[in-house]
């Protein structure tokens, strides 16, 4: 894990004091809200429906127990006892007072955390695979490169006022767990035929009003050229991106309107002028950052195999949790544990201060003091010995965090929606809760198998509904909430944008509609091994339309 150096400490502390002065002047009436708004947004402070919201950066989703305890402390002291983990691997607090935000930021700085560039038209928090550094299928850990991008992009003088927000994701495995194809820039770490590291570069992905998958513009970019090439991309976007219409301001629109061939030509031309300059990454610098992310000293724990088999046999609930929430580690005596923040009937992504403290304790004792936040709004312990899984499970049961549903139908992604967000048209949380309760049966969830439901309360798509196997978009129609359904989306290496299936459903009917979709899938799949997404791609939308709309589907 990266540790701040003297520059980092001084930089973040100075930014806190600058914002403290800005807040004081705003509260005195010396700064009007219109002038204050861009200042607070660059420090992660939003004004939502009922209160201010503070979004805290968790770079590439990695934090330690000390930092998690600080997040719990802030929830307890300055908020209402909980925090909300987001699809950007950040955490949000929904109820801080503006007057307290400088103190919150100062306390965050004490554990090497901040809220800089978690909003505004700038380069946002760089995200990465939540299993990075531990996954058995990984080519290399992407987090050192995400850290280099973080350092480069922080208050970048050229890129602090872009046409629109800008998001970068990095993955280092064939299985894309970072959804790189729905980002402004997606970097896929790989090796060439000689074994040298580099990146496939994707540009122009995004969701929202115009959902588009990113286009690959480089199949292999040497690692030393990463900053130069990313700079070239952002420079072309900054020059040509639309500033006259915020709905057409993202780079995905520039790629679409310019054409991928012409945009690639412009990027390559800019890259040629700077590729041998100061942004070329020396190998020694890359390896120095890499050392911060070295695997912990994982002792051989072969007894775990026998202990684990015995514990699974003795406790079916534990066995189900291991099967669903523990993934293979690159060390055979260890596993990667997903801590579900999706209890049946709960708010997706929320964790109480007590739960955050408990996760910190577990990580410190059993997981080498390392925690991850996934873009699917769960937490991960990336290095847990198989022998310690029974103890970890028992501790999670005690704090209500042992739901065995990772990747299942109740592992729902949902934005805060109209319960909190001033931009939302409809509620997300109650819909997620009702669907979760409808499919509460563990047996039924396992029968259904892998299925991702994602819910957004408005077209901005913070709930990633466009890439849900089943996506729900809340819209407003004649003053009432309505939910549009998309099917067949995916954010993995075989990414796809979901198709709108037909007219929307009222809040009281949307869960029934989801159940109809699921029952239709169960009736047409070829075997239990055929997932919902595979079945949908095989048969297309018509069987689902027929089931949902009957004769109306034929007429359509």
pLDDT in tens, 269-307: 999 999 999 999 999 999 999 999 999 999 999 999 999
- Token pair of 34 as six digits: 């219109």
Q: Which of 62-76, 225-239, 323-337, 542-556 has the lowest mean pLDDT?
A: 542-556
pLDDT for 1: 78
Homologous superfamily of 413-549: Sulfite Reductase Hemoprotein, domain 1 (3.30.413.10)
Mean of pLDDT values over 453-474: 98
pLDDT for 553: 53
Query: Is it the case that residue 556 has pLDDT exceeding 50?
Result: no
CA distance 245 to 365: 51
180: nearest Cα among 141, 136, 215, 134: 215
Alpha helices by DSSP H, listed for 200-315, are 226-240, 251-258, 260-274, 283-291, 303-314
Q: CATH classification of 6-110, choosing from 1.10.3720.10, 3.90.480.20, 4.10.780.10, 3.90.1170.30?
A: 3.90.480.20
52-56: strand order across its sheet: 45-47, 52-56, 91-93, 82-85, 350-352
pLDDT for 552: 53
391: left (phi over 0), alpha (psi -120 to 50) or beta: alpha
- Token pair of 84 as six digits: 């909300």
Cα angle, residue 448 at apex, residues 444 and 453 outer, rounded to 5°: 105
- Token pair of 47 as six digits: 């004004």
Domain spanning 302-399 has what CATH number? 3.90.480.20
Helix (H), strand (E) at residue 456:
strand 453-456
Domain spanning 134-291 has what CATH number? 3.30.413.10
103: left (phi over 0), alpha (psi -120 to 50) or beta: alpha
CA distance 397 to 162: 45
Burial of 542 per CB tally in 10 Å (0-12, 13-18, 19+): exposed
Average pLDDT of the residues of the chain: 97
pLDDT tens, position by position, 154-210: 999 999 999 999 999 999 999 999 999 999 999 999 999 999 999 999 999 999 999
Mean of pLDDT values over 324-343: 98
Residue intervals in the chain for CATH 3.30.413.10: 134-291, 413-549
pLDDT for 173: 98
CA distance 458 to 435: 19
Cβ pair 67, 112 in contact under 8 A:
yes
Q: How is residue 505 annotated by DSSP?
A: B
CA distance 483 to 505: 5
Mean of pLDDT values over 199-226: 98
In the chain, the N- to C-terminal Cα span, in Å, equals: 54
Q: Is 158 helix (H, G, I), strand (E, B) or coil?
A: coil
- Exposure string for 36-69, b = 16+ CB within 10 A, e = fewer: bbebbbbbbbbebeebbbbbbbbbbbbbbbebbb
CA distance 556 to 549: 10
CA distance 202 to 522: 35
Confidence of residue 551 (pLDDT cuts 50, 70, 90): low
CA distance 282 to 223: 10
- Token pair of 79 as six digits: 């908020």
Query: Is it the case that residue 425 has pLDDT exceeding 60?
Result: yes
Only one residue has tokens 């001084």, namely 10
Which parts of 62-196 are beta strand (E)? 62-63, 82-85, 91-93, 127-128, 168-171, 185-191
What percentage of the chain exceeds 90 in pLDDT? 98
pLDDT for 235: 98
Beta bridge partners of 336: 327
Cβ pair 189, 146 in contact under 8 A:
no
338: nearest Cα among 329, 350, 347, 325: 325
Residue intervals in the chain for CATH 3.90.480.20: 6-110, 302-399
pLDDT tens, position by position, 514-541: 999 999 999 999 999 999 999 999 999 9
Query: Is it the case that residue 487 has pLDDT exceeding 50?
Result: yes
Burial of 95 per CB tally in 10 Å (0-12, 13-18, 19+): middle
pLDDT for 41: 95
CA 365 to chain CA centroid, Å, is 26
């Amino acid at each position: 894990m990266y540790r701040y150096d003297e520059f980092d400490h001084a930089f973040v502390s100075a930014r806190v004091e600058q914002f403290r002065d800005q807040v004081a002047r705003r509260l005195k009436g010396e700064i009007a809200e219109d002038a204050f708004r861009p200042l607070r947004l660059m420090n992660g402070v939003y004004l939502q429906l009922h209160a201010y919201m503070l979004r805290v950066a968790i770079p590439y989703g990695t934090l330690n127990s000390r930092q998690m305890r600080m997040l719990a402390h802030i929830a307890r002291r300055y908020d209402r006892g909980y925090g909300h983990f987001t699809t950007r691997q950040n955490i949000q607090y929904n109820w801080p007072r503006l007057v307290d935000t400088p103190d919150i930021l100062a306390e965050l700085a004490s554990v090497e955390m901040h809220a800089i560039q978690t909003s505004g038209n700038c380069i946002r928090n760089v995200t990465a695979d939540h299993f990075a550094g531990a996954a058995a299928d990984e080519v290399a850990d992407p987090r050192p490169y995400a850290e280099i991008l973080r350092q480069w992009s922080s208050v970048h003088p050229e890129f602090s006022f872009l046409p629109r927000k800008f998001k970068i994701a990095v993955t280092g495995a064939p299985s894309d767990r970072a959804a790189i194809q729905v980002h402004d820039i997606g970097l896929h770490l790989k090796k060439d035929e000689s074994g040298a590291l580099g990146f496939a570069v994707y540009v122009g992905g995004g969701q929202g009003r115009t959902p588009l998958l990113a286009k690959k513009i480089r199949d292999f970019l040497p690692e030393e050229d990463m900053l130069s090439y990313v700079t070239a991309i952002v420079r072309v976007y900054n020059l040509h991106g639309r500033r006259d219409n915020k709905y057409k301001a993202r780079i995905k629109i520039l790629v679409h309107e310019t054409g991928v061939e012409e945009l690639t030509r412009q990027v390559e031309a800019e890259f040629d002028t700077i590729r041998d300059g100061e942004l070329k990454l020396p190998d020694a610098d890359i390896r120095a950052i890499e050392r911060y992310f070295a695997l912990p000293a994982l002792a051989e724990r072969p007894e775990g195999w026998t202990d684990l088999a015995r514990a699974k046999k003795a406790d079916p609930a534990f066995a189900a949790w291991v099967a669903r929430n523990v993934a293979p580690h690159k060390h055979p005596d260890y596993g990667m544990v997903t801590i579900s923040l999706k209890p049946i009937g709960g708010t997706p992504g929320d964790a109480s201060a007590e739960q955050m403290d408990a996760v910190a304790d577990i990580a410190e004792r059993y997981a080498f003091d390392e925690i991850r936040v996934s873009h699917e709004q769960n937490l991960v312990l990336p290095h847990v010995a198989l022998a310690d899984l029974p103890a970890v499970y028992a501790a999670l049961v005690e704090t209500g965090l042992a739901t065995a549903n990772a990747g299942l139908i109740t592992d729902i992604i949902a934005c805060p929606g109209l319960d909190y967000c001033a931009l939302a048209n409809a509620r997300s949380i109650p819909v997620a809760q009702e669907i979760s309760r409808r499919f509460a049966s563990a047996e039924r969830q396992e029968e259904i198998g892998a299925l991702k439901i994602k819910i957004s309360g408005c077209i901005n798509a913070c709930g990633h509904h466009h890439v849900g196997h089943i996506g729900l978009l809340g819209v407003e129609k004649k003053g009432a909430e309505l939910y549009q359904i998309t099917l067949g989306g995916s954010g993995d290496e075989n990414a796809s944008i979901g198709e709108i299936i037909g007219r929307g459903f009222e809040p009281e009917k949307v869960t029934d509609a989801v159940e109809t979709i699921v029952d239709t899938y169960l009736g047409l799949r070829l075997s239990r091994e055929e997932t919902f997404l595979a079945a949908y791609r095989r048969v297309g939308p018509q069987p689902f339309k027929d089931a949902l709309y009957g004769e109306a589907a034929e007429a359509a």
